Amino acid sequence: MDKYYVGIDLGGTNIKIGVVKDGAILISDSISAESDHSMRERLPVIRETIDRLLQKKQIDTDRLGGIGLSFPSVVDDKNRRILSRYVKFSDADEIDLNQWAIDIWGVPLALENDARAALVAEWQYGAGQGFDNIVQITLGTGFGSAVLLEGKLFRGAHHVGGNLGGHVMINFQGDPCNCGAYGCMETEASGWVLHNKWKQDPLYRDSLLAREDNITYRTVFQYQEDALSKKILAHSLQAWSANVYNLVHHFDPEVVIVGGGIMKSGDLIIHHLQDFVDQYCWQPRGSVKILAATHSEFAGMLGMAYLASR
């Protein structure tokens, strides 16, 4: 009997839930995360959503093969536990989610970090198909990353392997980071530092960006001909390129997949990263491909359904 799998992508703003079979999303929904509340308060709503989706597709629970859930923090996939107390869903590390799935549906639960889940989706169903050595980065509020080596997710001894691309130090004399170090990737070019970093610039007063409440990458790309936007974009492209250079040298991938909300202006970013890697990395020119992610909206859901099936 063919089995169906449920993928849950637990984000800080929305929780995306889908029923997946053979890599195809049959039905999905998105509910508010309300992540300032406890995880225990949201689990009944997640359960109701899953049951409703299964009912709509007339799928009996005996045809459900497993549940997969991605979480934006440090995860022990073997013991299926969330290890660190995240700023949202602050009680998540106290909950046995595997037992929750067994008690309700009689199936096990796969648990993984959200960046790794997105990488799995691209590896199996997207830009990473046919490759077994992949670095994936996500450009947005922060700088996310995940790594696949020889067909296996790289997790490391403490479950953070490949996930801390945003905290590679690229400027040791740089600004303080929220992690406590200085000059991390995220302090140079990420959404959370953008406004405070550049509102002090001499160009700001006469910039189109000064008309906005906040400087965001959306507005930077919107006003590309603005002098300050050009300066921010040039700085960000160089910072992202320097970090991709580091990751390529660390992990020697076949491809680097780039995702995130910024990728609506992806052609410029992809071309710049490719030129930088081709020019400066030790790997033969053209041997490391820079590709845009293809499953940005539902990657976590697809990746977790795949992991649940395994």
pLDDT in tens, 148-194: 999 999 999 999 999 999 999 999 999 999 999 999 999 999 999 99
CA dist 50 → 68, 223, 269 (Å): 12, 42, 37
**pLDDT of 36:** 82
14-69 tens-digit pLDDT: 999 999 999 999 999 999 998 788 899 999 999 999 999 999 999 999 999 999 99
219-254 tens-digit pLDDT: 999 999 999 999 999 999 999 999 999 999 999 999
- Of 61, 65, 52, 56, which is closest to residue 21 (Cα–Cα)? 65
How many residues are listed for the chain in this entry?
Answer: 310
**pLDDT of 37:** 84
Q: Would you say 109 and 100 are in contact if contact means Cβ atoms under 8 Å apart?
A: yes
- Token pair recorded at residue 193: 């530092």
For 239-277, b where at least 16 C-beta lie within 10 A, e where not — what string?
A: bbbbbbbbbbeebebbbbbbbbebbebbeebbebbbebb
The dihedral built from the CA positions of residue 293, 185, 87 and 154, taken in this order, carries a sign that is positive
**Helix 114-125, helix 299-309: angle, nearest 10:** 80
**pLDDT of 89:** 83
Count the neighbouring beta carbons within 10 Å of the beta carbon of residue 51: 13
C-alpha–C-alpha distance, residues 138 and 118, integer Å = 9
AA letter at 298: F
What domains sit in the chain, N to C, each tagged with a CATH number? 4-119+298-309 (3.30.420.40), 130-292 (3.30.420.40)
65-113 tens-digit pLDDT: 999 999 999 999 999 999 987 667 889 999 999 999 999 999 999 999 9
pTM, entire model: 0.94
Residue 297 pLDDT level (bands cut at 50, 70, 90): confident
**pLDDT of 87:** 67
